[in-house]
Amino acid sequence: MYYDFPQVFIGRSAVDQNYCCMIISEEESGPKYICTPISNHRSIELSTGRIDLRQVFEVPESAKFFHAYCEPSCEDAINLHLQDMVICPEALLPKAGLIFEEYDEVASKALELNATVSYASLSVPESEKQTRIRSTTLAQFLTHYQNAVKLIAKRTAKELRRQIGKDSNTHSLDVFGFSRGSFTVQLRSSNDGDLFADNHVLTTTLYSLGEFLENTENPDAAIEYLHSIKGHAASSLIRLLEFLDENKCPLKQQWATPRIGESRTSKTTVNGVRNLIEICKQRKDLTEVTVVLVGVVSTASINGNTWKLLNEEDGVQYSGDVQEGSNISMGGIVIQKKRYKFHCIERIDLNIGTGQEKTQLSVFDIEELAGAPN
């Protein structure tokens, strides 16, 4: 709380002990504060309006109180002076009901780290009473969440005509902490971004992801978005929904950047996710991508209906199988001596254990082309 100068603030010592500091008088040399140690958990309760300021000083976590004088000579630190009392005098207690409801922890953290920040909260049963989540559940969630961010970011970059290199961390997120309530994973951008600490591709991605999560209660809007990004990005979002449904844990995403100045929040519900998944099961067009390859076939197996083709456009050898139900056979394919055009369905399988992606190609139409191979 600020009026001319800080009236109430949280101070931190050199050994990371937090203190709640409240003004009690204004001296000629500057404001005078009463201070008491406060835990991170209680600090969050105070700054988010769950408890009022009076409770912090009337029922302190530690029976220690200090005075602090903010003098003009205090450039980098304020000295604390231990007081001989174990309770706060009634005359110094603030009135009941003084609460802080406008504190935006995520936006404040984005400013502090000078980076894009996302808080992802999972309402798993074990997190109801303590900061706890099964390690396998957490690992699976982070894999699905990061994969969705990565694939949406790649599509976003393409729309913005920006290049994302193979080893770029533009779309990557790093975990930097956890917090209570629903089990909340605190993530920040791996890349520091531009002069204003803004990563436009990641910002646009988190906005799109948030809109999608919020629209899980609005199937028509959610399906429309999935259709607009159909393919691998849509598949990653559906896999994320399937994870939430399997673990029966609603997801809340809250994110911010230093430039935006305030956080944006999206939530899902168990029923909304389940209903949307049922609709997605009927829409195979959302997850399939058509890929066309042109070149010579280097190997073909009639028994396994598998193939390898050297693509002329990029010089890469691709391999795959025959799409089930297509009635195509590798019999009759001439190895190395003729050019073919393979029309394929491309799918990406995600290994939850390793986080690695495996691309699978299934050919559904083959054309023999004129002209000798290069």
Residue 354 banded pLDDT, cuts 50, 70, 90: low
How confident is the model at residue 355, as a pLDDT?
A: 53
* pLDDT over 90 at 148, yes or no: yes
* pLDDT over 70 at 4, yes or no: yes
How confident is the model at residue 365, as a pLDDT?
A: 93
Give the rounded percent of residues in the chain with a pLDDT score beyond 90: 50
Q: What is the average pLDDT across 52-78?
A: 86
Q: What digits encode the pLDDT tens for the residues 311-324?
A: 998 899 999 999 98
* pLDDT over 60 at 196, yes or no: no
Q: What is the average pLDDT across 257-279?
A: 91
Give the rounded percent of residues in the chain with a pLDDT score beyond 70: 92
How confident is the model at residue 281, as a pLDDT?
A: 86
Side chain identity, residue 25? S
* pLDDT over 60 at 352, yes or no: no
How confident is the model at residue 307, as a pLDDT?
A: 95
* pLDDT over 70 at 167, yes or no: no
How confident is the model at residue 105, as a pLDDT?
A: 83
* pLDDT over 60 at 89, yes or no: yes
Average pLDDT score, the chain: 87
Phi and psi of 15, rounded to 5°? -110, 25
* pLDDT over 70 at 191, yes or no: yes
How confident is the model at residue 350, as a pLDDT?
A: 58
Listed by start position, the domains of the chain span 2-92, 105-286, 289-369
- Worst-scoring range by mean pLDDT, 70-84, 159-173, 208-222, 337-351? 159-173
For the domain made up of 289-369, the CATH class stated in words is mainly beta
Residues 6+ apart with CB under 8 A from 317: 298, 308, 309, 310, 311
Residue 74 banded pLDDT, cuts 50, 70, 90: low
Residue 344 banded pLDDT, cuts 50, 70, 90: very high
Q: What digits encode the pLDDT tens for the residues 174-190?
A: 998 887 667 899 999 98
CB 37 within 8 A of CB 18: yes
How confident is the model at residue 359, as a pLDDT?
A: 79
Q: What is the average pLDDT across 244-256?
A: 93
Q: What is the average pLDDT across 101-123?
A: 86
